[in-house]
Amino acid sequence: MPLYPEVEPYDHGMLDVGDGNHVYWEVCGNPRGKPAVVLHGGPGSGSGPFFRRYFDPAAYRIVLLDQRGCGRSTPHASAYDTDMSVNTTAHIIADLERLRRHLGIEQWLVWGVSWGSVLGLRYAQTHPGAVSELVLTAVATGANRETALLTRGLGQFFPDAFERFLAELPEDGREGNLAAAYNRLIESPDPEVRARAARAWTDWETAMAPAPPRSIPRYEDPVFRMGFARTVTHYWGNDCFLGEGNEEGVVLRDAPLLEDIPGTLVHGGLDPGNLLGTVWRLHHAWPGSELIVIDDVGHNAGAADVADALVAATDRYAAAR
């Protein structure tokens, strides 16, 4: 089932969400269609036009946004004077509710990828009445053990890259939460220290990517690189702002709260998160979910078979109005 053709927004704007932040949003598709909101990954990756193509534009009113500090939202996390203390999971969830009310939407389907799946799950757990369905891919829950896997556990599979990743840190920062240690460097008043840390962080992210290719073009943009590295380390260094008890996962613990919300989980069989069994545990703890595992695919929402399953899910939910 192919992706839908490219469409352009018919409305867009900058929503004042407080704390000096303005969140970019756009809407495309059918103004009278079933509302759906897209939650991008990262945190800090920003949205893009490709996400619009997972939805039938004749059936859906498709809402995209750039979460605080990234994409076209302001202020951008790449700017040293941007206040990151007002960029947390709770803040973004509040932004979603503010945007939903601003657009006059009662309920919307929530579509999320990677970090967007964490955010979508937590949003649905705290505002279940606002969510008609969930469609999630490259699924994560934001648990501390997931962060530890990605920042330390995978080092045994990529030893050379991991050695370079550790070497950028001072010796007293090489134990414990590596994201927090990197975030301290990225928050340094010295711009050279910040730049080196952001580059080292994205080099590690690149090392974990499938080969070929071994490069990720967006990381070559210094503004994106700094904003992304700063935001990811800010979240991963602070338990994804999910509160106490996040070692095994607050989102996973609260999965029963999703009981009345239908959901589809589309996940790659080669996703590194499978080493922890996260998506299977979530599926079994969430009575209203279906799990679709795509063999020979990693952490990749754009893979053809993954995209087919995602489009099939949104097509099916389009009829449930």
Q: Do the beta carbons of residue 138 and residue 223 sit within 8 Å?
A: no
Neighbours of 197 (CB within 10 A): 24
Q: Do the beta carbons of residue 111 and residue 54 sit within 8 Å?
A: yes
Point out the catalytic residue in the list 78, 271, 283, 289.
271
**Rg over CA atoms, the chain:** 19
Token pair 């927090």: residue: 180
**Distance from C-alpha of 215 to C-alpha of 205, rounded to nearest angstrom:** 10
Q: Is 114 a catalytic residue?
A: yes
For residue 235, the surrounding DSSP H or E stretch is helix 222-236
Point out the catalytic residue in the list 114, 117, 132, 289.
114
Q: Can you spell out the DSSP letters for 237-279? A: TTGGG--TTTTT-HHHHTGGGGTTS-EEEEEETT-GGGGGTHH
Tokens linked to 150: 């990605």
* Residues annotated as part of the active site: 114, 271, 299
